[in-house]
Amino acid sequence: MRLKIPILRLLLYGCLLVAAISFIYPFLWMIGAAFAPSHELAKMRIWPAHPTWSNFASMIQKIPIGRSLVNSLLVATATTLLVMATGSMVGYALARMRFRGRQLIFYIIVFTMSLPFQITLIPNYITMVHLHLVDSFSALIIPFAVSAFAILMFRQAFQGLPQALIDAARLDGCNELEIIFRILWPNIKPVLVTVAILSFIGSWNEVLWPLIVIRNEQLMTMPQLVTLFAVGGRADSQLGVKIAAAVLLALPVMIAFLFFQKHFIQSMASTGLKD
């Protein structure tokens, strides 16, 4: 459907550009505002006339933001690795092995996937209390260590691989775990990337659950710490400091997105298309 008339094309690009600016400009303003001294914040310009690090400096003084960055990285990495390990094990069994209950488990996974989290939220918190996991990284990792979505992705990926690959590996004396992680994984790289991106981003951006199970400031993830900082009085209604915290929270994901844009979009889109 190529538009032939130049005016229409101009209009098309005009619309797209306006849309793009409306999505990007707020972020640019935010980054500029983080460097703006307080008297300049009220201006709408993108980059302040007298940029300063003072917002960041006073934030670092007030909250353990560096610590929370490390916490977030640790939690998201551990969650992602576990999701990939458990997802491939279960997905492999469902795709390539025959055993009683295989179909049943598959249907249970599909069915429970659409269970609203509202019903499990309070009981899961109580489980954490009883397992003495409140205020520990385990509370942030274990409940997310298995993902129904990842299992289904791996199941589908493993189904598409030739049996000869598995047979040959078995002849070489590989056990099932070696087959999964050493022989099959290199053949399903796109799926690995998708699952990794989704679980990492999911874990990185999760904020309700940390708010519930973590009280100790030293263990808080970045979104939680920034949230409590923004809501509580400690930002002293200093806008610049609050925005600086938001910028620091956004930056890692934004940088990753700039580099792996295509993978991000494909991965996120696949969550919607897998129905």
Residue 6 lies near another protein (rule: CB under 8 A): no
Stretch that binds another protein, among 57-65, 144-152, 163-171, 187-195 (CB under 8 A): 144-152
Query: In whole angstroms, what is the distance from residue 160 CA to residue 190 CA?
Result: 13
Which two three-digit tokens encode residue 270?
């696949």
Select the residue interacting with another protein from 46, 107, 120, 159 (CB under 8 A).
Answer: 120
Task: Pick between residue 83 and residue 191 the one whose CB is nearest to another protein.
Answer: 83
Residue 183 lies near another protein (rule: CB under 8 A): no
- Helices 189-205 & 65-96 angle (0-180, nearest 10): 140
Residue 125 lies near another protein (rule: CB under 8 A): yes
For the chain, the straight-line distance linking the first and the last C-alpha, in angstroms and rounded, comes to 29
Select the residue interacting with another protein from 15, 57, 165, 255 (CB under 8 A).
Answer: 15
Give least dist CB 239 to another protein, A: 7
* 98 SS3 class: coil
103 burial level (CB within 10 Å; 0-12, 13-18, 19+): exposed
184 DSSP 8-state letter: I
Binding-residue pattern over the window 78 to 107 for another protein, x denoting contact by CB under 8 A: --------x--xx-xxx--xxx--x--x--
Give least dist CB 106 to another protein, A: 10
Query: Cα dihedral sign for 235, 240, 202, 255?
Result: negative
* 6 SS3 class: helix
Residue 188 lies near another protein (rule: CB under 8 A): no
Task: Pick between residue 191 and residue 197 the one whose CB is nearest to another protein.
Answer: 197
Task: Pick between residue 192 and residue 200 the one whose CB is nearest to another protein.
Answer: 200
Of 217, 235, 233, the closest CA to residue 225 belongs to 217
Taking CB under 8 A as the criterion, which residues in 233-252 touch another protein?
A: 239, 242-243, 245-247, 249-250
